[in-house]
Structure 1
Amino acid sequence: MNIRKIVSYTEDVLTEGGRPVDPRARTAVVLAVLQNPWAGRGFVEDLAPGIEEFASPLGALLAPRVVAALGAPIEAYGKAAVVGLDGEVEHGSALIHTLKFGDHFRQAASATTLLPAVEKRAAAGTTFDIPLKHITDATIRSHHQSIEVRLADAPRADEIVVGLAAAAQGRPQARLAPLSSER
């Protein structure tokens, strides 16, 4: 796996709606920018060998980093793959839509739900939103949120940006009724 760089950052929301958020609402994102193993090879019918080679090591690399960046128990999580213009959306999906990748994060977060995801093909500098849902119950509305991400120099045409996002809480000042209240 040829990784050009790893980017980590956190966001702390201290006020929302003109009111303090206490404790702060923290979200962390870790992104790996890697060479697309399928780019420039024409249409690749069988993606399985690349999935086998890259998905698990990538999940093992990113999961502990996002846990450390968050620095708190994870309550919501999500994933992303943005493929450069010489690749296909399916290339990013191949890496992140497999248990070989996602189970590393599920285990690190003690999660039981599916990881919500975004995947797209785009040029360097594109903005994308990583969706997050609660780690054990995807119907908990307060944890339906997203975080906006952008890397100025990635993905290059032959790269994929793969990322994980985690939140220590739901949306700041969340006050929607539980889904179960609707009949």
Structure 2
Amino acid sequence: MPDLELRKFATVVEEIYHEGGPPAGEPLLRAAALAVIRNPFAGRYEPEIQWFMEKLKPLGLDMAQRLAKAVGGAERVEGYGKGALIGAAGELEHGALWHAPGGYAMREVLGGAKAIVPSSKKVGSVGTRLDVPVTHINASYVRSHFDAMEVGMNDAPRADEMLLVLVMTTGARIHARAGGLAAAEITGEDGLR
């Protein structure tokens, strides 16, 4: 990654067969790509930080490509989300810099998904966990795809680091039956329904 100090990268894939009900014929795949990088703003307040989003774009694209491959291809992806954990010497706003590079990278890899990519971010210490929200890639109101994936690394983020995350899933929650808009009913016009 040009101009990024990458310390560590991981891809995690969960195969979910059931949540206490009957086993699914094919498991739901829930996958996360995690990258630990140095936070260039750690330890100080920097008024101009938007330039760093441009530096994060190649990382976002690489992570999105790895994730799509990990779940068997972009055509299998139905849900997505993103998140950022900022080390204690940083600030929450540094995590907001991941919104565009992470979200647009997934949309590009998935062929122009329409729904906003949900996200979470927080400042934390080494070993902090983050729940990354997930929604359907083309309609945020598809209730069966409301989900989350807990992520983290035992040695990150250090005080001067960021742990950046992308998540993709291959379908609805394994025993989804809470009603609401179904994936088959998506009109695909506004990213919501």
Taking only aligned residues, the RMSD between alpha carbons, in angstroms, comes to 1.4
Say if 2:91 is the partner of 1:88: yes
| Residue 124 (str. 1) matches residue 119 (str. 2) | no
Q: Distance in 1 between matches of 2:78 and 2:181?
A: 18
Structure 2 SS opposite 1:15: coil
Aligned equivalent of 1:151: 153
Which stretch shifts more, 61-70 or 165-174?
Answer: 61-70
Q: How many angstroms does 1:9 deviate by?
A: 1.0
Find 1:175's aligned residue among 171, 174, 177: 177
1:139 pairs with 2:122? no
For 1:67, the equivalent position in structure 2 comes to 68
Find the counterpart in structure 2 of residue 31 from structure 1: 34
Question: How many angstroms apart in 2 are the aligned matches of 1:60 and 1:24?
Answer: 26
User: In structure 2, how many angstroms separate the alpha carbons of the residues matched to 1:114 and 1:18?
Assistant: 31
Which deviates more, 57-66 or 138-147? 57-66
Alpha-carbon distance, 1:179 to partner:
4.4
SS in 2 for 1:16: coil
User: Of Structure 1 and Structure 2, which has the larger fraction of its residues in strand?
Assistant: 1
In the TM superposition, 1:33-52 aligns within 5 A as: 33-40=36-43, 42-52=44-54
1:104 to partner: Cα distance: 1.4
TM-score normalised per structure 1: 0.91
Provide the aligned length of Structure 1 versus Structure 2. Answer: 176
Unaligned runs of 5+ in 2: 183-193
TM-fit CA distance, 1:97: 1.8
Counterpart for residue 104 of structure 1: 105
Q: C-alpha separation between the residues in 2 aligned to 1:97 and 1:168?
A: 22
